[in-house]
Structure 1
């Protein structure tokens, strides 16, 4: 039996591995099918991580993490986890190769992924004028006009955030009504920099070798087509957390989750199960920033060390 299984190899999982092994936990295995790094490796530019003054690509940014985190004895199993279950007072890590690894504790760091809208040009220009993170990419469009797609809390909150640096924000939604909280809608409607375009859908995202230069919109009531000349569209049509490993045979979840399927944790990253922790974008109310995920991973590892010390 291993002391700790870490499921997921992004910033949260790697930080957890670093702090756990350096903190003296002996048998720690990181389960990650591919190279560690997480979804941040798809980012073209990172310039807001404290202490890293160079602007780096996601891949270059995560590369030294792996070397550092494996220096203290963290081992990786390059295999996908299909399920986590419980037996007696420990956990079973089921992997795609048919093996089952018992573990005294688990840190879940499987992350999540923003939903794609399925628009023509969206995949082609992703990272080159199609973004799912205003905090990450808004600064690159300072004093420019930008577009935001979506009608929920995230879309409106990110649109409001973008008004701090962009000259104008076009908020596009397929319905006249919004799913966001009434107070958020009110703030958005009262912001002179936000122009609502409803009810409308994005037909196509256009661009060239330099990235996005326009989005084609269609009014769903009149059928009118219009073209917005913008260098970026921020897409906020939902977020999927990678919680499949928590699903049990009877359809229940291994630990307590919120209505979105994100894992409920306390400030110490503890779930409602002893010895089971969650960190990064898989947890409820995650800010979805690398620095926060790394902090979560460290917190979870410290909590886990305390748990293992008290359950010898």
Structure 2
């Protein structure tokens, strides 16, 4: 039986693995067979992760994190987790091809997935004008004309942030009113760089090697039009990857895993959560990494306390046996 299993291979999972491995816990990290490395595997230049003043490619950053985790003794298996049972003292994790693993503790760091438009060219032009993170990629759109899709707080925040770089930001929304809070709407309406395109949805993205324009469809009369832009930011929300723990771990109103205060402790003893799966707000690689640190330290302290209890119980058993032997004599 393992001391600790880490589910997830993004910045949170690998950072947790680094700390757990350095603590001598020999962690097993289960990474997806298809999406190992998390969302950063789909990111080109990463310029806001500390320690890389010249920037670093997303896949390269994840490779370095994995190398560092393995250097200290982390075992990484590229397999998909199909089910988990965290309810007992022994945590069980079943995978698609490698069988079932057991551990005394688990760190759940499966991250979240950006909601996508589902268009054929969305994936093809990812990293070449299509993005889901203004904080990550906004810098690359200096003096450009871009569009943001969405009508909630995140879309207004993205659009407002992008005006620091872009000359023009269109906000495309399928209705004629926004879901965003009043203050976020007011900020967007007051920004002279932002123009709203109401009652419209994006049905096509054009461009051979980079985004060159969008095809919009009216939600009122079905007519189509073209919108020339050099970038598209999709801000229609994200979904934490929590399907494996439904019915076991408590969730927040945002759908993320509920943890106690600033810790990583879930409602089940010995189960910890980290990264975007607990964070509905920031969702940055560096905050996920910090969250992974917290989870590893929490797990280390939990296992140390568990060992003390078990040692105490063993000592009591031995003492009882000795007492019985003495009494028998």
TM-score, normalization by structure 1: 0.91
Contact 2:213–2:229 (Cα < 8 Å) also in 1:
yes
Distance 2:29 2:24 in 1: 16
Matched, 1:262 2:256: yes
Please give the secondary structure, in 2, of the residue aligned with 1:6. strand
Matched, 1:282 2:277: yes
Q: 1:14 to 1:98 in 2, by over 3 A?
A: closer
Matches within 5 A, 1:289-304: 289-304=284-299
Please give the secondary structure, in 2, of the residue aligned with 1:311. helix
Please give the secondary structure, in 1, of the residue aligned with 2:16. helix
Distance 1:144 1:217 in 2: 19
Please give the secondary structure, in 2, of the residue aligned with 1:175. coil
Contact 2:87–2:268 (Cα < 8 Å) also in 1:
no
Max Rg structure: 2
Please give the secondary structure, in 1, of the residue aligned with 2:282. coil
- Per the TM alignment, residue 235 of structure 1 is displaced from its structure 2 partner at its CA by 0.7
Distance 2:62 2:185 in 1: 37
After superposition, the CA RMSD in angstroms is: 1.8
Q: 1:206 to 1:36 in 2, by over 3 A?
A: closer
Matched, 1:71 2:71: yes
Distance 1:267 1:54 in 2: 32
Matches within 5 A, 1:130-141: 130-141=130-141
- Per the TM alignment, residue 255 of structure 1 is displaced from its structure 2 partner at its CA by 1.0
Which residue number corresponds to residue 154 of structure 1? 154
Which residue number corresponds to residue 221 of structure 1? 220
- Per the TM alignment, residue 4 of structure 1 is displaced from its structure 2 partner at its CA by 0.6
Contact 2:86–2:271 (Cα < 8 Å) also in 1:
no
In the TM superposition, what whole-angstrom CA distance separates every residue of 1:152-175 from its partner, at most 9, and x where no partner exists? 221111111112222221100001
Distance 2:120 2:88 in 1: 51
Distance 1:119 1:103 in 2: 41
Which residue number corresponds to residue 233 of structure 1? 232
Matches within 5 A, 1:46-85: 46-85=46-85
Distance 2:296 2:285 in 1: 17
Q: 1:19 to 1:57 in 2, by over 3 A?
A: same
Mean alpha-carbon deviation: is it higher for 86-95 or for 276-285? Answer: 86-95
In the TM superposition, what whole-angstrom CA distance separates every residue of 1:186-230 from its partner, at most 9, and x where no partner exists? 222222221111011112111122x01111223322444332221
Which residue number corresponds to residue 86 of structure 1? 86
Give structure 2 stretches of 5+ with no counterpart: 308-329
Contact 2:146–2:170 (Cα < 8 Å) also in 1:
yes
Which residue number corresponds to residue 184 of structure 2? 184
Q: More helix per residue: 1 or 2?
A: 2
Aligned positions, number = 305
Contact 1:9–1:38 (Cα < 8 Å) also in 2:
yes
